[in-house]
Structure formats: C-alpha cells, structure tokens
Chains A and B, each alone.
Chain A
Amino acid sequence: QSALTQPPSASGSPGQSVTISCTGTSSDVGGYNYVSWYQQHPGKAPKLMIYDVSNRPSGVPDRFFGSKSGNTASLTVSGLQAEDEADYYCSSYAGSNNPYVFGTGTKVTVL
C-alpha cells in the first residue's frame, strides 16, 4: 500500500485561503468516506482536524474544511492565521486489513 500523495508545500498570506490535496486510489481515498486530516506543529504530536472527509472534531475552528472528489481529498484552511503554520497529513481507510494509510505531508507556511 503506497502513501497518499500530497504537495510538499503550500503557502498563503494571513487572511487568505490555502488548499492542500491528497491523492490516492480507488482502494483508499476513492473507495471510502474515511479521510482524516492531521495538523502537526514542530516537535508535537499530530492533532486530528478533520475526519470522515468533512467532519470537524469539537474545538477545531470552522476555518478548516474538508472535501473529496473521486480519488482526491482536499483540506482548505481559510482566513489563514500564524498558528496555522504547520505540517498537515491526510490519512485514509484502505480496507479492514489496512485501516490506515497516511499521506506524504504538506508544510503550510503563512507568509
């Protein structure tokens, strides 16, 4: 099972929006509505930001929006803030025997 493909980097100015893609296959992203997104600040553990493609856990700002089309999922962060600068990883369910496939990660820079 190969890792999901993400762009290495993305950036935006404060207040702007940035969108990160996560491309998989019909065996993972395209086959299930179980895509998650994690935010990771340097030296910290990942934090769940989106689950089941578009659901936000309690406490996650509604500036974070998840979506999916075919084999590609996306995370959009609107109204960028300095605290949003971090690495972001997508993850997808890929079947009962391989429940977690992570993406390659995207570093988001707030200019």
Chain B
Amino acid sequence: QITLKESGPTLVKPTQTLTLTCVFSGFSLSTSGVGVGWIRQPPGKALEWLALIYWDDDKLYTPALESRLTITKDTSKNQVVLTMTNMDPLDTATYYCAHRPVAGRGRFDYWGQGTLVTVSS
C-alpha cells in the first residue's frame, strides 16, 4: 500500500528558502515510469502543480515558478525534497506530495496528507 507524508517548517519568513521533504513507502522511485510530484493549495483556493521528478531523475517545473524551485530525490531513503527560494506571503499554502503511477500521464493516484506552510514575518 502506497503512502506519502510531507514534513517541513510550518512557518517561514519572507525571502527565506523553504525545504519540504516527502517520505514515501509502498513503491520505489527506481521503477521505470514512476514519479513523485508536489502540488500546493493556498487556503480556500485551487490546486496548483509545482514540480515532478521521474524515476530516471528527469525533472519538470511549473513555468511560473521554475526559477525558484528545485526537486531532488534520494531513492535509497525513499525521499523527495522540494526547495523553494525567496518565499513570499502569497506562497502560504498546504503543500502536498503525490505519486505519479507507471503509465499515469497527467494523474496522481496517491497523495500525502499535506503540510501547511505559512509565510509571515
């Protein structure tokens, strides 16, 4: 059974860098076709895809935030890390990591519980 769980700071100051970790189980990020993505959701607003890392270390970012995002993986630890630089109050949101299945173009089939990050001085 696939599970994912996000962790990181609940509060960051403007201009700081956010680092979030996704620890997962039930699948391997070395399996061909598999990926892990990050999605965020500001309070009361819609979902927004941020980044995706594939089993082969290929990485994709949403164009609007690409300059601020970095996604990495540690296959041996079953972890994916997302960093976002120059945080702004508008980045306040619940951040989710999610599993992209093999042949799962355009979908995430398992999601973490999410972690709320507030950006405030």
Chain A positions within 8 Å of B, measured between CB atoms, are 1, 3, 32, 34-36, 38, 45-48, 51-52, 57, 89, 91-93, 97-105
Cβ of B49 within 8 Å of any chain A Cβ, yes or no, is yes
Number of interface residues of B (CB under 8 A): 22
Cβ of B90 within 8 Å of any chain A Cβ, yes or no, is no
Flag if A93 contacts B46 (CB, 8 Å). Answer: no
Question: Which of A36, A92, A97 counts the most B-chain CB atoms under 10 A from its CB?
Answer: A36
Q: Which residues of A contact B52 (CB under 8 A)?
A: 99-100
Q: Which residues of A contact B109 (CB under 8 A)?
A: 48, 51, 57
CA distance A100 to B60 in the complex (A): 10
Given A45-B111, A93-B106: A101 in contact with B47 (beta carbons within 8 A): no
Q: List 15 A-B contacts (CB under 8 A).
A: A34-B106, A34-B107, A46-B108, A48-B109, A51-B109, A52-B107, A57-B109, A91-B106, A98-B62, A100-B37, A101-B49, A102-B39, A102-B48, A102-B49, A104-B46
